[in-house]
Amino acid sequence: MAIVEKKRSALPTPYAMDPGFPDRVPKERYFDPDFYELECEQLWPRVWQMACRLEEIPEANDFTTYEFLDQSIVVVRTEDMGATAFQNACRHRGVQIVQGQGTCERGFQCPFHGWRYGPDGMNAGVTQKRTFAEHNLAPDDINLVPVRCEVWGGSAWINLDPDAPPLRESFEPAASMLEAWKIESLRTELWFAARLPVNWKLAIEAFVEMYHVVQTHPQLIIPTRFGKTDDADFDARAFIEADIQYLRAMSEGMAGMCHANDVAVAEGLRDIELPADPTEAKATWNRTLNDAVMSWHQNRGSDVPDLNDLDARGINLTFFHCFPHYFVLPMYSSASQYRFRPLGPEETLMEIMSLTRFPEGDERGKPTAPEAWGADDPRWPPIPAQDFSNLPRQQQGLHAKGFEYMRLSAGLEGHVSNFERTIDGYLAGLPHEQLLPAQRAVNVYPFDKPIADLGF
């Protein structure tokens, strides 16, 4: 890897990434209160955040609240099945008008003094209106404060910055790839939440490289699944069994990233005949399994992507990042979805949703936010449990007096550097037109790309 040319950093903090050594991450970025406060001020109000799944607000006038840092946002499903959003604070004395989720067909009423608002946030009534001075009741000043909101990928998104680029533009190239996966037709089947005693960036970075897999997830390393294609001793039967073993591990270990239905489809194919040539055998197995999964779901009336087309286009991948806090991990018919939110310099809320495809008309009701479990809760599926066993130890290890910075692998952890330096661009207050190319370097997959020159 060629280290990018040294440039002067615009970030006024001693904890900025050194442009001369983008493969070193200062430890203070993960616990320093001043650095965290800068993120709260300069990053989070300027980025798109996944506020809710649309199935949380399935009908017109359904609403839910999205909380991040000290902000609360109300997201409402509109009559045209889009979404709108506004700040969750009555214009009288700032009381939050709602909590949780519900339906607002008749609008909202502040529980403190009774001021009323329509589902669109427009003021619909002030109690004892004659007692107020005229300057406190200016018509344009007593509506709930609107928040920018867009719908994409089966979710509603919010951004407090009116000048930010459109959502889809901000998520390229991942956006086009995820649309090919038809993520808009996925629905929530399971929803977990973890309250992790780690910095939000540390939590994210545990999932954006494959370097840790051999040590942390040994059950995913199955030798006969990775046999050489020129191996004269290639055993097609052993390869099929190994792939099924891997799919089962991803299903049980991730609570459905590979859906149990798809594992059952694969198990039903285990006796097929494969060509003797290892390359042709693996390609035949992949095409046959793709076709079988698609047929199974199409026969149920579900909307599924053409998995063989995804293969041909080179985007049949399993991990997509939408900067800064949203991930989708699709696999055959289904996917896992991650969302991260900071709760403090050294605490993070991580949510994992298992998404799948249901037949058209199969309504499952609104999913409700789960209780947040601790990192060591015994109820975690095996793969998250293994990741969570490392993270608190890493957060504590960063405080070691003799530890100065993370030293990243040039070939395996370039994504971490690109992610951290894009954050620095936000903290330096760079304009969106300069930040957008950097975001796209983060959103691209695979993650084991080299450290990129982000232009700042």
Domain ranges (residues) in the chain: 49-160
Return the closest-CA partner of residue 142 out of 173, 111, 167, 121: 121
The answer, yes or no, to whether the previous bond of 324 is cis (omega within 30 of 0) is yes
Q: Give the tens place of pLDDT for each residue, 360-390.
A: 888 788 999 999 999 999 999 999 999 999 9
pLDDT value for 1: 36
| Architecture of the domain whose range is 49-160 | 3-layer Sandwich (2.102)
Six-digit token pair at 298? 């199409």
Which residues of the chain have a pLDDT value below 50? Answer: 1-8, 229
Angle between helices 432-443 and 414-427 (to 10 degrees): 160
d(CA 380, CA 316) in angstroms, rounded, equals 27
Residue 444 to residues 325, 409, 416, Cα–Cα distance (Å): 14, 18, 12
Contact 26, 17 (CB under 8 A): yes
pLDDT value for 231: 64
Q: Which helix (H) or strand (E) holds 216?
A: helix 213-216
DSSP string, 353-398: EEEE---TT-------PPPEEETT-TTS-HHHHHHHHHHHHHHHHT
pLDDT value for 6: 43
Six-digit token pair at 23? 């493969």
